[in-house]
Structure 1
Amino acid sequence: MQNALTLLSSVFGYPAFRGEQEAIVNHVAGGGHALVLMPTGGGKSLCYQIPALMRDGMALVVSPLIALMQDQVAALTELGVAAACLNSATSPDEARDIARRARAGTLDLLYVAPERLLTPRFLAFLDSVPLSLLAIDEAHCVSHWGHDFRPEYQQLGMLAERFPQVPRIALTATADQQTREDILHYLKLSDARVFLSSFDRPNLFYQVLEKHNAKKQVLAFIQNEHPGASGIVYCLSRKRVEDMAQWLVENGIRALPYHAGLGHDVRERNQRDFIREEGVVMVATLAFGMGIDKPDVRFVAHVDMPKSPENFYQESGRAGRDGLPATSWMCYGLNDVVQLSGMIQNSEMADLQKQVELGKLDAMLAFCETPGCRRQHILKFFGEDSAPCGHCDNCLHPPVLYDATLPVRKLLSCIYRVGQRFAASHVVDVLMGKMTPLMEGTRHHDLPTFGVGKEFNQRQWRSVIRQLVARKLVEVDLARGQSLVLTAGCRPLLKGEELIYLRPLAAEKTGARQGPADRWLRTEREERLWQALRRWRKERADEHNVPAYAVFSDKTLRELVERRPADLRELGRIHGLGELKLARYGGDLMTLLKDSREEG
């Protein structure tokens, strides 16, 4: 077997392993089974790619999406690794060539979807090929409790019976305890070693805002925080995707839509442009993104609240995979909670699973409403304790809680007096003393609570309601037209036996950066070299028909600008420059660096 560290340096161009990568690689290369939980951007792929190069035979990698397979194969091919993928886009001639290479022992890795793997024909083909290992990526897809359930994944346990001597490794970025148990059970990995890395993504800046004009809020965020950067904007509905993409385009941002209602060719083209071009913003439903391997996504924005912390963590984790600073931004409102609750309760899930999903929605709302450190909060959901990060919106601008006992008692009293039969909008109208047609029809303007809440505006009252829903003092009854209903927990407040402190409605600083700026380019010469390197990278990527990051990541280009190596020996120490890329691109890079020095 080749040495793992030598392969890491010579093929991938990395000087050292991170975290538990080395332990995982050596365990699997030595024939052991493993379950690997590692955050997005943590380097999961290396955990099976390097053992695949260390062991004799071909590694089979199960992957759920064509885009992910193609990206991985493109990146490996650029590194000189013999890799291929089989999917619905593979022609019969290409498939035959892949089979020939596999049987001849000249193919290191083969990527395949679970549906194809499970066919009798493909399994018979595998019987004729010496296998080095079996890797199951996005392994959370086995779980009913997970956030991307794929029934075929649950059948992959048969690999343990068919190929008992071949080491198996299951990998995922997001899995709570129940999902981990499902992975071990369905994939027959009871004897596997579990590697649980920290879920922390220290390069991500978390920011959450109250929603009041989502389109303008997203536009201001992109223009002020990440102009010209690649990013993803997630929306809950197809219509909102279309509206948001059009709005961004009208305001000078190169945005593309992605949702299941678009034609296959349109989705493929938009996804390809997002992956291969720089500065593209993808506006998408949650159908987009799982397994997207683009490392230079600088932000992920949620226009609607995700339905669970797992979804949020997985989606926001698509930003900053290269380890450079990136932003997870979200705006949300009470309507998000109501809409998501309705989707869960009206679904065809079993009642027990509905309760699980509603519990996760509650946890997501608690994350949005917390006055404490957001990173600490999200890590605690995954069972990980941490100190406050000092790098989220709440840490940088700590909310000062106020005594909300009196306004809360007014609100609870108003909900009670309208019979717990009306939605938040009408309750707020009563508190603010607004005469509406509904008010006249119900005679609620005669109630003693009519007009007692004029000290708050509508947004402030809705903020109070959201926080009470998050604390389980008020519930939204979907069966009765989204009526606000009191819970038993609010009785001490109504009786004057308890005080309650809430976070105020935060004022948005739309003209200023919310997080620490990543302004690393210090001089005009550095800016010119940075742009020259990006243009050169784009030309090479187009020549090889691969994404720009498959040539070099932003992290590599940034190191070239900051360190400006003077010769090939120094160049070889740059992150991401393995032997093949040094031989292929070293001359070009030295010329660009020399020109930069001469320009002064």
Structure 2
Amino acid sequence: MTETALKVLKDKFGYDSFRPGQDEIINKIMNHENVLAVMPTGGGKSLCYQIPALMLPGLTVVVSPLISLMKDQVDALSENGIAATFINSTLDYQEIEHRLQQAAMDQVKLIYLAPERLDDERFLSELSDLNISQLAIDEAHCISQWGHDFRPSYLNLMNTVHQFPSHPVVVALTATATSKVASDIMQRLNIDPTNEVSTGFARDNLSFQVVKNQNKEAFLLEYLKVNANAAGIIYASTRKEVERLTGLLQKKGVKAEMYHAGLSEDVRNKNQEDFLYDRVQVMVATNAFGMGIDKSNVRFVIHYQVPGNLEAYYQEAGRAGRDGLPSEAILMYQPSDLQIQHFFIDQSDMEPAFKTREYLKLQEMSKYANTEGCLQQFILKYFGESSPACGHCGNCLDERDQVNVTVDAQKVLSCVLRMRQRYGKSLIAQVLTGSHVKRIRDEHFDQLSTYGLMKGRSQKEVTDLIDFLTSSGYLQQVGGEYPTLHVSEMGGSVLKGKAKVLRRGAVKAKRTVSVDDGLFESLRQLRLNFAEQQHVPPYVIFSDKTLQAFCEELPQSTLDMLSIKGVGQNKLDKYGDAFLNVIQEYEADASEAAQ
């Protein structure tokens, strides 16, 4: 089985070996065992069902949540010489019937559908007549009410699975699932708990960074200046902020477009296509943009405002560096941004228990933003995975001077105790800065020895310090919507003078990755020409990583090219000679210049 799968992997996709977990998942599918695949973004989830699709006798149905993802996947498969299609709301009835007929005649091996399509009884009946060997459920965390992106349309998949007479094997795939979400997925889809294959959540090529207590606009503009040729996504929490940022960047000469649910479908599609086709450098967006975006050469993802939870953050951040090249995920943090997410939770229709859960998740997001430990380690711990420090995140590589803030920390910790550990950070900051608000007088907090102890500081500065002490473990938050602060055992050691508290100050913008030499640019231009002819995004032709390999290895023949990752036989036949000519011309010019 593995030898056949390896041959398909090489011939169709141009890779010599499987990534961790892929062969195990494929073997389970070929043994007709339902399986849950938990793999990081860019970890190769799609191949886990695409290779069995080519080996199984019947049709593979892929449930996918976004139209853009379907088109990207089908385009990529077609470039590899694999017959695939999709059915979604962009097609009329006749075209849908035509594509179903193609599937019935074994003219396609994979068909992509939105989950809502399966709510249509007539369509489901027609689909049930086909010989479906495999049902792949992408973004499977959407099926769980404990997940960060729950979609009711996914719940019907439980019933759908049982309606297919062919009894297809089920593979569920996700990049972001806590242990609770994973258990929920497996229970709902009848997957044996022993058939969860998790390759870990670590993204070794992704460098995490938190920028806080700084001028966000100044940092963003400097970062985009330093990374002028890199593609990236900037996330903001509201449509208004997306529009403001886009206007700012365009005014500064950055090729930027916007994406949010308030734009017309035509404008959204145009802006998304411009980004996918490398016509614009930066997409500024709400979280309406991105799930399933397969653009492999996104070099950075910047969250200009704090998202609601770590699952959403990690999934969105994971859209950087899908090709495996070094990339950055930057969170720009201000405590006031948490209020926006708090408002979103307040205004939601969720049950009280779910709201409490979301408030707690938001607290974790704040802790992440304020920790001075390894950022990737913090994220992995959240997903239940232990790991050493990554060695390449902003905190691990932090060379900024550490400032001793022990005395200020003792003032905060002492105030928390004197307020009987029954209040939140806002009131504590008001007491420390000597505020005259009515509540302080009513509670007689103006009589405390810690009242006004930090009178020379702004409430924002003191609140920032409280956030830092909380994320670092000196304080603990208790409760959901209105958490109170308690002094931890670590905090007690600081109060007794047995431990010091050290803190760092501002982050500078740096360049993500440098592959922009002359040959790389020539190859990229050739790729763009082919992409425009084929009407597909450039990365579908060859990824940046494959182009970089061409630059490093300088293949001398099409046979040499076939040994490079990402070059399968179909792509070699279509594009090999043209790319080889550019490489040979570059070498000839370099040789002539050296003489």
1:264-314 Cα offsets, whole Å, 9 max, x none, are 211111111111225521111111111111111100001112221111111
Query: SS of the counterpart of 2:302?
Result: strand
How far the C-alpha of 1:428 sits from its partner, in A, is 5.9
User: TM-score when scaled to structure 1?
Assistant: 0.88
Aligned match of 2:503: 504
1:416-468 Cα offsets, whole Å, 9 max, x none, are 9999999978976875679999999x999999767643675666433212124
2:176 is equivalent to residue 177 of structure 1: no
Cα distance in structure 1, aligned partners of 2:34 and 2:140: 14
How far the C-alpha of 1:339 sits from its partner, in A, is 3.3
Aligned match of 2:581: 591
Cα distance in structure 2, aligned partners of 1:383 and 1:277: 37
Query: SS of the counterpart of 1:287?
Result: coil
The two structures, once aligned, show a CA RMSD in angstroms of 3.4
How far the C-alpha of 1:39 sits from its partner, in A, is 0.5
Query: SS of the counterpart of 2:156?
Result: helix
2:167 is equivalent to residue 168 of structure 1: no
Partner amino acid for 1:222? L
How far the C-alpha of 1:414 sits from its partner, in A, is 6.7
Aligned match of 1:201: 203
What is the aligned counterpart of 1:210 among 209, 212, 216?
A: 212
Query: SS of the counterpart of 2:13?
Result: coil
Cα distance in structure 1, aligned partners of 2:357 and 2:433: 37
What is the aligned counterpart of 1:532 among 493, 511, 522?
A: 522
How far the C-alpha of 1:316 sits from its partner, in A, is 0.5
Cα distance in structure 1, aligned partners of 2:419 and 2:31: 69
1:45-99 Cα offsets, whole Å, 9 max, x none, are 0000010001112110000100100100111111111111111101333223212
Cα distance in structure 2, aligned partners of 1:436 and 1:146: 40
Partner amino acid for 1:291? G
Residues 121 and 455 from structure 1, CA distance in 2 versus in 1: closer, same or farther, beyond 3 angstroms? same
Aligned match of 1:111: 112
1:196-242 Cα offsets, whole Å, 9 max, x none, are 11111000011101144322222222222x22211111111111111
Q: Which deviates further from its counterpart, 556-565 or 159-168?
A: 159-168
Cα distance in structure 2, aligned partners of 1:71 and 1:270: 15
Partner amino acid for 1:550? V
Partner amino acid for 1:377? F
Aligned match of 2:72: 71
> Given that residues 257 and 280 in structure 2 are in contact (C-alpha distance below 8 angstroms), is that contact kept between their aligned partners in structure 1?
no
Residues 166 and 469 from structure 1, CA distance in 2 versus in 1: closer, same or farther, beyond 3 angstroms? same
Gaps of 5+ in 1: 522-526
Cα distance in structure 1, aligned partners of 2:352 and 2:467: 25
> Given that residues 416 and 487 in structure 2 are in contact (C-alpha distance below 8 angstroms), is that contact kept between their aligned partners in structure 1?
no
Aligned match of 2:593: none
Partner amino acid for 1:187? L
Residues 452 and 204 from structure 1, CA distance in 2 versus in 1: closer, same or farther, beyond 3 angstroms? same
> Given that residues 467 and 502 in structure 1 are in contact (C-alpha distance below 8 angstroms), is that contact kept between their aligned partners in structure 2?
no
> Given that residues 401 and 501 in structure 1 are in contact (C-alpha distance below 8 angstroms), is that contact kept between their aligned partners in structure 2?
no
Partner amino acid for 1:21? Q
Paired residues for 1:36-75 under 5 Å: 36-75=37-76
Partner amino acid for 2:175? A
Aligned match of 1:220: 222
> Given that residues 136 and 170 in structure 2 are in contact (C-alpha distance below 8 angstroms), is that contact kept between their aligned partners in structure 1?
yes
Aligned match of 1:186: 188
Aligned match of 2:28: 27
2:546 is equivalent to residue 551 of structure 1: no
Cα distance in structure 2, aligned partners of 1:354 and 1:423: 18
Aligned match of 1:363: 364
> Given that residues 32 and 192 in structure 1 are in contact (C-alpha distance below 8 angstroms), is that contact kept between their aligned partners in structure 2?
no
Cα distance in structure 2, aligned partners of 1:283 and 1:584: 35
Query: SS of the counterpart of 1:7?
Result: helix
1:111-144 Cα offsets, whole Å, 9 max, x none, are 0001112311111112221112111110000111
Partner amino acid for 1:203? N
> Given that residues 389 and 395 in structure 1 are in contact (C-alpha distance below 8 angstroms), is that contact kept between their aligned partners in structure 2?
yes
Cα distance in structure 1, aligned partners of 2:32 and 2:54: 13
How far the C-alpha of 1:489 sits from its partner, in A, is 6.0
> Given that residues 492 and 498 in structure 1 are in contact (C-alpha distance below 8 angstroms), is that contact kept between their aligned partners in structure 2?
no
Cα distance in structure 2, aligned partners of 1:478 and 1:55: 49
Residues 423 and 26 from structure 1, CA distance in 2 versus in 1: closer, same or farther, beyond 3 angstroms? closer
User: TM-score when scaled to structure 2?
Assistant: 0.89
Cα distance in structure 2, aligned partners of 1:492 and 1:361: 22
Residues 475 and 129 from structure 1, CA distance in 2 versus in 1: closer, same or farther, beyond 3 angstroms? closer
Residues 450 and 353 from structure 1, CA distance in 2 versus in 1: closer, same or farther, beyond 3 angstroms? closer
How far the C-alpha of 1:359 sits from its partner, in A, is 2.2
Gaps of 5+ in 2: 591-595
Residues 183 and 407 from structure 1, CA distance in 2 versus in 1: closer, same or farther, beyond 3 angstroms? same
What is the aligned counterpart of 2:514 among 509, 516, 519?
A: 519
How many residues matched?
Answer: 587
Cα distance in structure 1, aligned partners of 2:94 and 2:266: 22
> Given that residues 421 and 486 in structure 2 are in contact (C-alpha distance below 8 angstroms), is that contact kept between their aligned partners in structure 1?
no
Q: Which deviates further from its counterpart, 272-281 or 43-52?
A: 272-281
Aligned match of 1:524: none
> Given that residues 233 and 302 in structure 1 are in contact (C-alpha distance below 8 angstroms), is that contact kept between their aligned partners in structure 2?
yes
